[in-house]
Structure 1
Amino acid sequence: MSSSSNRRLVGRLLLLWQFVVAYAAAASDTKLRERQLQPEELEDSSTFDLVGAVTAIPEIFPFFTLFANGECAGTLISPTRVLTSASCVQGSHPDTVRVGATNRTDGREVRVRCAKSHPLYVWPKFQYDIAVLKINEKDRVDDIEFPVLNRVFSEPSFEGQPLLVAGMGRNTTTGYAAEHLMQLLYGFVPEAECKRFYGDDITLGLHVCADGVRAGTCFGDSGGPLLSDLLPRILVGVVSGAVGGCADAYAPDVYSSVAAFADWIDDQEDDESCDRECVGCLCSFYSFMGRTGYQISRYFTP
């Protein structure tokens, strides 16, 4: 095949990809339904940003970590480990992240040595959607209080307990990303009820589901923390996704359960091996294609 034919083929593929992305965005937008706010919530609705969230109190989230490209988030769980979602590091990992970020320019910039995804994760599934970023030793962070990893999950212990999520993702499916760290109070959704929405897309025991009032996570929040709203802060889950886009009115958000992966997370503290990294411009290309395709797949989840 001639070089001109190759160029035409690449051009057609890029146009096709742009059409798919645009169609997915339009389709997901029609799925959004507003939740009914309570009167007391309407009083504060002017502060809504990241799909129902309010500006975060920085002191609560010193461990919140923002990827350099702003596409994902994570939680610093030790001086050299950031917990995030495996879908955030498909194809590549960020060169740097910002620990303690409260907006898109502040926070402590640290260099990422490599990433380790759970070995059973298969894109674009919800199962095993968890990964650890490994920070360069000389950039280690020792002077903050890390959240406590949840190690035993019991539904009765979470029923009625408020949960807290933080992020800087979009404020609507097709909207702009938040400029400041936002926080959102959530309610726990029992596994059986969550399973009714997602069926085989989730596995009981591997996931935690939570839901808000006309509120939820959106693109850019993936990998971020789901925490107990009580002290000490317990890291309960890692943002994974939702079936209907952002803050779908009927489906709860899905989080990878930290308790289910606590042993694997512990093993990464001493394991110095890393996933094989991609090289050169293909790295960025595969990373973009992987994350965009992952988002599109969520739009069309039945």
Structure 2
Amino acid sequence: MKHFMFTVSFFITALCLYAYGKPSSRIIGGEVARTGQFRFAAAIHVQTSDSRFFCGGALTGNQWIITSGYCVHNAELFTIQLGSNTLEGDDPNRETVATSTYYLHPDFNPDTLDNDIAVIELRLPVMLNGYIQPIFVSTLNYLNNTDAISLGFGQISDGDPELSNELRYIDTTTLSNQECRLYYGSQITDSMICAAGNYNEGTCIGDTGGPLIITGGRNSLLIGVASFISGNGCESTDPSGYTRIYQYADWIHNITGRYGY
């Protein structure tokens, strides 16, 4: 039976690379995002007492970032980039902010990745514009066979340990938890959702905390937060795992004061 590669494994790899000035990873496959296509996308540089690593996230409101619980666990400082589809290089649309305030779900389990969700609070609200806009948090349960998009700056192959400088995205389809258990067994709980792209497209190291979204009409909806990949590697055909966001809409609302659709 196939198994989780827990996010902590991602971090060990990412920390070693980051220490040498090369942040880690990118989405496997997919396309490079257009300027302003995903205006809620957040690039999060995390610092703990003895290490640094990279995560993704999604802006909700003008002062809150939704990400993975593992991305804030024992964190001391976040440096967050918004408004840009690149991590480095000149971009007048890039806004860089720092904060140390976060809210980790009280039932987060670092061993099983159950309730793998957190909210980061920015010190001040960011100015919303044509390149920075929040995403709505879904309050509906999207089941299997829902078309969704996953995005991030993570690794594009198992053999390339560097972060993508460009935001990438892939088209995915959500699976039923029953089908996902064929890959991961009873470790899959109701708080999780799996999604698979074409062949081996999916998330990789550095994509943890990034958004799984659906689009339609005028607004995108956040339905998942990237949480885990298979121990068979990023380039395997195993589905990627996410935290199922609708179950946490009330918890997010209690912190941020915002509901989605």
Contact residue 77 and residue 100 of structure 2 kept, 8 A: no
Matched, 1:257 2:237: no
Contact residue 242 and residue 248 of structure 1 kept, 8 A: no
Q: Equivalent residue of 1:223, what SS?
A: coil
Contact residue 177 and residue 188 of structure 2 kept, 8 A: no
Q: How does 1:1-302 map to 2 (within 5 A)?
A: 50-68=27-45, 71-105=54-88, 106=91, 107-137=94-124, 139-143=125-129, 144-155=132-143, 159=145, 161-175=146-160, 176-204=162-190, 206-212=191-197, 213-231=199-217, 232-244=219-231, 245-249=233-237, 251-269=238-256
Give the drift of 1:200.
2.5
Give me the whole-angstrom Cα distance separating, in 2, the residues matched to 1:76 and 1:165. Answer: 15
Give the drift of 1:63.
0.9
CA displacement, residues 254-295 of structure 1 (integer Å, 9 cap, x when unaligned)? 11011011111111115xxxxxxxxxxxxxxxxxxxxxxxxx
Contact residue 137 and residue 221 of structure 2 kept, 8 A: yes
In the alignment, structure 1 segments of 5+ residues that lack a partner are 1-20, 23-48, 271-302
Contact residue 27 and residue 207 of structure 2 kept, 8 A: no
Contact residue 78 and residue 99 of structure 2 kept, 8 A: yes
Q: Equivalent residue of 1:60, what SS?
A: coil
* TM-score when normalising by structure 1: 0.67
Contact residue 151 and residue 259 of structure 1 kept, 8 A: yes
Higher-Rg member (1/2): 1
Q: Equivalent residue of 2:250, what SS?
A: helix
In the alignment, structure 2 segments of 5+ residues that lack a partner are 1-11, 14-25, 47-52
Contact residue 66 and residue 101 of structure 1 kept, 8 A: no
Q: Equivalent residue of 2:102, what SS?
A: strand
Q: Which moved more, 1:99-108 or 1:70-79?
A: 99-108
Quick one: structure 1 residues 60 and 93, their matched pair in 2 at CA, closer, same or farther if it must change by over 3 Å? farther
Give me the whole-angstrom Cα distance separating, in 2, the residues matched to 1:68 and 1:268. Answer: 22
Give me the whole-angstrom Cα distance separating, in 1, the residues matched to 2:194 and 2:255. Answer: 25
* TM-score when normalising by structure 2: 0.77
Give me the whole-angstrom Cα distance separating, in 2, the residues matched to 1:153 and 1:211. Answer: 18
CA displacement, residues 191-235 of structure 1 (integer Å, 9 cap, x when unaligned)? 21012222232212x112100122110010000010114332111
Q: Report which of the two has the higher share of helix.
A: 1
Opposite residue 86 of structure 1, the aligned amino acid is G
Give the drift of 1:162.
2.1
Could you tell me the percent identity over the aligned residues?
A: 26
Q: Report which of the two has the higher share of strand.
A: 2
Contact residue 164 and residue 228 of structure 1 kept, 8 A: yes
Give the drift of 1:117.
0.8
Figure out how many residues of one structure are paired with residues of the other and give that number.
219
Opposite residue 80 of structure 1, the aligned amino acid is Q
Give me the whole-angstrom Cα distance separating, in 2, the residues matched to 1:124 and 1:110. Answer: 30
Contact residue 27 and residue 151 of structure 2 kept, 8 A: no
Give the drift of 1:154.
4.0
Q: Equivalent residue of 2:253, what SS?
A: helix
Give me the whole-angstrom Cα distance separating, in 2, the residues matched to 1:62 and 1:208. Answer: 24
CA displacement, residues 122-145 of structure 1 (integer Å, 9 cap, x when unaligned)? 2132211000001012x4343343
Give me the whole-angstrom Cα distance separating, in 2, the residues matched to 1:247 and 1:228. Answer: 23
Give me the whole-angstrom Cα distance separating, in 2, the residues matched to 1:78 and 1:61. Answer: 15
Opposite residue 217 of structure 1, the aligned amino acid is T
